[in-house]
Structure formats: structure tokens, C-alpha cells
Amino acid sequence: MSEYVKPGDVNINEPRWDQSLYWNRAKHFFVVTNPFNLLSSGEQLNEAKNIVTKYRSGESLPISENELWRYKYLYDSAHHPETGEKQIIFGRMAAQVPMNMLITGCMLTFYKTTPQVMFWQWFNQSFNAVVNYTNRSGDCPIPVKQLGLSYVMATSGALVTALSLNSLVKKAPAIVGRFVPFCAVAAANCVNIPMMRQKELNEGIAVTDENGNKLGNSKIAARTAIIQVVMSRIGMCAPGMIIPPFIMDYLERKGTLKRYPFISAPLQVVICGFFLIFTTPLCCALFPQKSQVHISSLEPEIQKLAKELKSSQYAYYNKGL
């Protein structure tokens, strides 16, 4: 006889593990960012969506709890957590490791000439634009004009940073130049993410009380959410862009790269991939996706409504990724 999971047995509207604990958040994101989720077919994703939809509608299902969670995480890997829309494949969190290991490895390899810098910084910011749009907070459409402006500004910022630093470090030790791509990426993240989510900064993001009652849109919560995302993104790429330069400098001094120049790009891609497998979920977990903020620190109108609803002292919002 098949094992049945009944409505109310499992709360699939929340992550499987208690998100108030960092290591539980990390465990959650190790599953969410699993690159193998990208190999799931359209039929498998549709099946996962149907299972999740049926269970949420109150149906009992002839599957185990573990199977339900497997379908739920497969569904989450390809759909926005709030809107439920299927995400662009390159913007999904599961694409972070394979895409970033390729891009980062190539940025660290091809950083000496202006054409190389321009191409890989442009490529990186194009990918970041897709990720930022796909993982924006809530049902908050980004106007094409804003999308284009943020993309141009982030790409320009990365290029100016990279080319300027390359010019300044020409007479510095060779290893110093290897850190230029990281500086450019960090600078671009500080521009790209706030610009991409400017509408949230101007209009605020939805905040709710502990019962899910919407208290309004908060610009204060939006600013906090975006700062958290910027910090997570920089932390995500830091080890993979800071440690490889030391390794490659050592190999260069030993003459290994001179004897085998073709290994430079593949080796750095592999090294970056190794770090990203861990830093992607660990840095996504730095701050809870469903973050809480003390109501007293939000806008007066939100505080007033919370008082009328007799809400607790905390409000909640989705910070985005």
C-alpha cells in the first residue's frame, strides 16, 4: 500500500529546515543551488508543479514526505518563490555555480588586455542582469528603461574600475594585477543590484505581520534587503577570485604556466567551481530570505496598521536573492 501524505502533515510554504539557524539555511540553499536541478526536463518540472499545487489545494497524495519535499525543492529550483512564474534558466539559482565558475575563471585568466577585460566584464554583467531580474523581490516588474540603465551603469562601472586599476598596477608585482577582476566585480555589484531594484527602493517592498497580513510597502525594508543581497553576492565570489591568484602566481613563478600555458583557463575555472559549490549556498544563507525587522523601525503608517491589527513587534519581507 502506497504511503500517503495528507494536507496539514507538512508545511511546504516554508523551507524544510528551521531558517532561524544559519546551518539550516545553508542546508536549504545547498539543495536550492544544486546544479543538477538544471538537468530536469520540462515534464519533470511540470510534474513537480502539479504535485505542489495539488497538495496546497488540500489533496492527499500517494507519496512519502521525503518525496513531497523532493518535488517541492525541484519546483522551487525553477520558479519564483512569490510569483510562481517559471524562471529563465540562466537566472535560476541552480545556474549560479556552473555559470559563475566559467565566467570567473575566464575573468581571472583574461585580464591583461583591454579587449579581454571589456568582453568578460560585459559578459559577467549581462549574466548578473539576468540573475537580478529573475530573482527580484516579489511581483515587481522592472521597466525596460530601468533594466537597460542599470545594465549600462553596472557594465560601465565594472569596465572603468578594471581598466583604471589595470593602468595603475602596471608597475606593481604581477600578482597585484590578478586581483583587479575581483575589485571590478565588487564595484559592479554595488551598482547593478540597487539599480536593478530601484523600483523597490522608490516604492518599497511588501512587509507582512506574523499572520501573513500585509502591512504595506516599506522603503526601509527595501534598503536593508538590497544591502544584504549586495553583501551576499560579494561574499559569494570573494574566495573564488582571491585565492586562485595566489595559486596561479605560484605556478607562474615555478614556470609551470610557461611550459603548459593551455592549462591556465581550465585550471582557474575548476578552482573557482570548487569554491563556488560551497560559497554560493553559504553566502545565500548569510541572511534569511524571509527576513524580519522590528516594526518600530519601519514607516509610521506601517506601525499604525500593525497596531490596529494587534500584530507582534516584528514584520517580515522577502529580501530576494
Domain boundaries, the chain: 22-86, 94-318
Residue with cell 522608490: 202
Q: Which three cell numbers stand for residue 251?
A: 605556478
Q: Is the pTM of this model over 0.75?
A: yes
Nearest to 167 by CA among 121, 125, 111, 238: 111
CA atoms within 13 A on the CB side of 298: 29
CA separation for the pair 229, 320 (Å, rounded) = 7
**Residue 138 above 60 pLDDT?**
no
139-177: per-residue pLDDT in tens? 556 666 777 787 888 788 778 888 888 888 777 787 888
Q: Which three cell numbers stand for residue 289?
A: 530570505
5-48: per-residue pLDDT in tens? 777 778 888 888 888 889 999 998 898 888 999 988 888 998 99
Per residue in 93-132, is it b (16+ CB within 10 Å) or e — as a string?
A: bbbbbebbbbbbbbbbbbbeeeeebeebbeebbebbbbbb
314-318/290-294 β-pairing = antiparallel
Using only C-alpha atoms, the chain has a radius of gyration, in whole angstroms, of 22
Average pLDDT, integer, range 124-129: 83
In this structure, the number of other CB atoms found within 10 A of the CB of residue 219 comes to 15
Helix (H) or strand (E) segment spanning residue 14: none
269 CB burial (10 A radius; 0-12, 13-18, 19+): buried
203-245: per-residue pLDDT in tens? 888 888 887 788 888 888 899 999 998 999 899 889 988 998 8
Q: Which three cell numbers stand for residue 169?
A: 598596477
**Which one has a higher pLDDT value, 112 or 11?**
11
